[in-house]
Structure 1
Amino acid sequence: MTKNNSRRSFIKRASITSAALSTTPFLLAASKNDPQLLHRNYSFKDFGINDQINIALIGTGIQGIYDTQAALQVDGIKIVAACDLYTGRLDRAKELWGQDIFVTRDYREILNRKDIDAVLIATPDHWHQTITVAALKAGKHVYCEKPMVQNFNEGQEIIKAQKDSGKICQIGSQGMSSLGNEKAKELYEDGAIGDIVMLDMYNDRYSAEGAWQYPIPTDASLKTVDFDTFLGSAPKVPFDNNRFFRWRNYQDYGTGVAGDLFVHAFSTLNYVISSDGPNRALATGGLRYWKDGRDVPDVSITLYDYPKTETHAPFNAAFRINFIAGSGGGGGFKLIGTEGEMEIGQNSVTVNRSKLGMEPSGYSMISFTEDMQAKIRDEYAAKKLDTRASSLATGTTTWQAPRDYKGAHYDHFFNFFTSIRTNGKVIQDPKFGLRAAGAALLANESYLRKQPVSWNPTEMKLL
């Protein structure tokens, strides 16, 4: 169905009868905005001992632990090994998952084990490509945390390694498989907001932890931390606890706010509107408050251009991050279209459709005589711009996940493990992951160059 036909279909269903409105319930809920419950049917199949999936975690830090806890909620998953360069995290792994799990500082020992089916890679960004490729070549299925790559030129090797290995590779923007994303995609394709004209995304934080000033353990030293291995291909520097435990603050190891936060938004946006991504970016920002030695901005604003495609009109996107938001913090992700707006969260979607004013008001009529104003009103009335259908197809509706919803993180791992068991497709494969990461990395490139940068979203190349 073409986009225009889809939009007409949406308005038609929203205006014909109350029965039809049950599928597009704007009017039913418009006055009180009563939430509509979302739901998902999980396909649970019986599995035996041979269907158990043994996983290992490489990078037992904050995100790695949250990833593993979510993965273990899926039936038939067992963690058998963990890897980290700080011995205290290996001790923590045993506390969490049992004294019998295998622990090591060397990820290659994980890949050499025959009892491991899949690895979760939650290392600093500059190690993602190296370990992901090695894991795929070793015959392991891979769940790699976002952003998939630290640099533009690293993605193609992961794509090739996945294709050559035939193994499943899921990129870990954990909100991707959420009920919110799923419903938003359905609504967008149904024409709920018309043609998209703008995306507005922001993430405000107001805490040291939110600005990546993570705690440093009291026993951190060259004895407990393998700092040389951590550096990897990055420039050699003396041992520095901040660089190891707060690596997101440094360009050598991380990807700044864009790689950490923009990439989630691009994953959702590209999925909802079935897009390959933007083709141009212009970034600005600076280090305004957290001057703790970091070399990435704590305030960032980036404007993106999306070209016209078969699935969306040309539009602009605004991405804003503020790590010193005196308002106290918060966030939002809103698609704005020609006929409405859609605010998307992992657990909910809210669509608001307003009436477009097409007839002149007193403001623009004041300079005309009373006789001329009457003639102009008659002229507009004859055009019948203010139709009953346009008035009916308005209102606000929220779709909300039920209280017992297991969450987007669970859903992303459920998709990953189901794909392993059925040799199916994941929702965020390496091509998708590179397009999301590439779009985010454009912000860093533009910020450093102090000029706009261009990107070919189809070929995934910097221009």
Structure 2
Amino acid sequence: MSKKNSRRSFIKRASLTSAALSTSPFLLAASSNNRLILSRSYTHQEFSANDQINIALIGTGIQGIFDTQAALKVDGVKLVAACDLYTGRLERAKELWGQDIFVTRDYREVLNRKDIDAVIIATPDHWHQTIAVAALNAGKHVYCEKPMVQNFNEGQEIIKAQINSGKICQVGSQGMSSLGNEKAKQLYEDGAIGDIVMLDMYNDRYSAEGAWQYPIPPDANTNTVDFDTFLGNAPKVPFEPKRFFRWRNYQDYGTGVAGDLFVHAFSTLNYVISSHGPNRALATGGLRYWKDGRDVPDVSITLYDYPKTETHAPFNAAFRINFIAGSGGGGGFKLIGTEGEMEIGQNSVTVNRSKLSMTPSGYSLISFTEEMQQKIKNEYAAKNLEPRRSSLSTGTTTWEAPSDYKGGHYDHFNNFFTSIRSNGKVIQDPKFGLRAAGAALLANESYSRKQPVNWNPTEMKLM
């Protein structure tokens, strides 16, 4: 069904009687505030020891632990090994998952094990490409945390390794498989907001932890931390615990707010509207408050241009991050279209459709005589620019996940492991991951150059 016909169908359904409203999850009614429950069914399966998927965690930090906890909720999955460069995290891994798991500070020992089917890569960004390629070449399925790469030129190697190995590679923007994303895509394709004209994304934080000032354990030293291996191909510097435990604050190891936060938004946006991404970016910002040695901004604003494609009109996107938001924090992700707006979260989607005023009001009529005002009103009335159906198709509807929903993080891993078992397709493969990461990295490139930058979203190349 074409986008135009789909939109017409949506409006037709939205113009039905209120009696029909209670039976259709797509309908909106004038002056309504409907709340509808989404659903997702899960099938519980029993797997023998021989049928289990054995996984290993490489990078046992904050995100690595959350990833593994989500992964182990999926039936038939077992953690058998963990790797990290800080011995305290290896001890933590045994606390969480048992004293019998294999632990090491060398990821190559993990890849050499024959009993490991898949690995979760949750290392600092500058190690993603090296370990992902090595894991795929070693015959392991890979779940790689976002952003898939630290630099634009690293992505093609992962794509090539995945194709040559025939293994599954899922990029870890965990909200991608959520009920919210799934419903938003359905609504967008059904024409719920018309043609997209703008995206508004923001993330405000107001805490030291939210600004990546993570705690440093008092036993951090050159014996407990393999700092030289952590540096990898980054510039050699003396041991500095802040660089290891707060690596997101440094360009040598991380990708700043763009790689940490923008990439989630691009994953959702590109998925919902079936896009390859933007073709131009202009960034600004600065280091306003958290002057703790970091060399990345704590306030970032980036404007993106999306070109016209078969699935969307040309539009603009605004991405804003503030790590010193005195308001207390918050966030939002909103698609704004010609006929409505859609706010998307992992657990809910809200569509709001308003009536577009097409006739002049007292503001513009005030300069005419009373007689002329009436003539103008009569002319506009004859044109019937605001038919009754435009009012009937307005209102607000929210679709919410049920209270027992397992969450987008679980769904993303469920998609990953199901694809391994069925040799199917993941929702976020390396090509998708590079397009999301590439779009995010444009912000860093523009900020560094102090000028707009161009990107080919189809060929995934910096212009």
Code of the aligned partner of 1:332: G
Distance 1:17 1:24 in 2: 14
Q: Deviation per CA, 1:228-262: give whole Å up to 9, x if none.
A: 00000000000000000000000000000000000
Q: Deviation per CA, 1:344-367: give whole Å up to 9, x if none.
A: 000000000000000000000000
Distance 1:225 1:235 in 2: 17
Match of 2:70 in 1: 70
Q: Report the CA distance between 1:55 and its aligned residue.
A: 0.3
Match of 1:255 in 2: 255
- More displaced stretch, 1-10 vs 440-449: 1-10
Q: Report the CA distance between 1:114 and its aligned residue.
A: 0.3
Q: Secondary structure at the match of 2:15?
A: coil
Contact 1:194 1:339 in 2 (8 A): yes
Summarize the alignment of residues 61-460 of structure 1 with structure 2, pairs less than 5 Å apart.
Answer: 61-460=61-460
Contact 1:137 1:161 in 2 (8 A): yes
Q: Report the CA distance between 1:25 and its aligned residue.
A: 4.7
Code of the aligned partner of 2:427: I
Q: Report the CA distance between 1:50 and its aligned residue.
A: 2.7
Contact 1:176 1:268 in 2 (8 A): yes
Distance 1:280 1:50 in 2: 50
- The runs of 5 or more residues in structure 2 that have no matched partner are none
- More displaced stretch, 226-235 vs 41-50: 41-50
Q: Report the CA distance between 1:17 and its aligned residue.
A: 3.9
| TM-score (norm: length of structure 2) | 0.98
Summarize the alignment of residues 36-51 of structure 1 with structure 2, pairs less than 5 Å apart.
Answer: 36-45=36-45, 47-51=47-51
Distance 1:330 1:304 in 2: 22
Distance 1:15 1:110 in 2: 59
Distance 1:39 1:303 in 2: 35
Q: Secondary structure at the match of 1:176?
A: helix
Code of the aligned partner of 2:400: Q
- More displaced stretch, 65-74 vs 36-45: 36-45
Query: Kindly, what percent of the aligned residue pairs are identical?
Result: 86
Match of 2:24 in 1: 23
Distance 1:361 1:285 in 2: 40
Code of the aligned partner of 2:131: I
Distance 1:446 1:25 in 2: 40
Distance 2:45 2:89 in 1: 35
Distance 2:391 2:269 in 1: 29
Q: Report the CA distance between 1:98 and its aligned residue.
A: 0.2
Distance 2:216 2:270 in 1: 36
Code of the aligned partner of 2:421: R
Distance 1:238 1:73 in 2: 40
Q: Report the CA distance between 1:20 and its aligned residue.
A: 5.1
- More displaced stretch, 47-56 vs 182-191: 47-56
Q: Report the CA distance between 1:278 and its aligned residue.
A: 0.1
Code of the aligned partner of 1:273: I
Code of the aligned partner of 2:405: Y
Q: Deviation per CA, 1:40-88: give whole Å up to 9, x if none.
A: 1234555433320000000000000000000000011100000000000
Distance 1:282 1:159 in 2: 28
Contact 1:13 1:24 in 2 (8 A): no
Code of the aligned partner of 1:40: R
Distance 1:130 1:239 in 2: 22
Contact 1:51 1:421 in 2 (8 A): no
Distance 1:49 1:104 in 2: 24
Distance 2:38 2:292 in 1: 44
Contact 1:205 1:323 in 2 (8 A): yes
Distance 1:98 1:334 in 2: 43
Q: Secondary structure at the match of 1:352?
A: strand
Distance 1:111 1:25 in 2: 48
Q: Deviation per CA, 1:355-394: give whole Å up to 9, x if none.
A: 0000000000000011110110010000011101111000
Contact 2:194 2:340 in 1 (8 A): yes
Q: Deviation per CA, 1:160-188: give whole Å up to 9, x if none.
A: 00000000000000100000000000000
Q: Report the CA distance between 1:19 and its aligned residue.
A: 6.0
Distance 1:86 1:292 in 2: 22
Distance 1:295 1:88 in 2: 27
Distance 1:33 1:376 in 2: 35
Q: Report the CA distance between 1:16 and its aligned residue.
A: 3.2
Q: Deviation per CA, 1:296-316: give whole Å up to 9, x if none.
A: 000000000000000000000
Distance 2:26 2:263 in 1: 32
Distance 2:51 2:310 in 1: 41
- More displaced stretch, 266-275 vs 8-17: 8-17
Code of the aligned partner of 1:166: G
- More displaced stretch, 15-24 vs 178-187: 15-24
- More displaced stretch, 381-390 vs 305-314: 381-390
Q: Secondary structure at the match of 2:263?
A: helix
Distance 1:287 1:165 in 2: 42
Alignment RMSD (CA, Å): 1.1
Distance 2:452 2:10 in 1: 38
Code of the aligned partner of 1:41: S
Distance 1:166 1:67 in 2: 23
Q: Report the CA distance between 1:6 and its aligned residue.
A: 1.0
Alignment pair present for 1:3 and 2:3 = yes
Q: Deviation per CA, 1:129-164: give whole Å up to 9, x if none.
A: 000000000000000000000000000000000000
Distance 1:148 1:331 in 2: 23
- The runs of 5 or more residues in structure 1 that have no matched partner are none
Contact 2:201 2:334 in 1 (8 A): yes
Distance 1:265 1:227 in 2: 32
Distance 1:366 1:179 in 2: 50
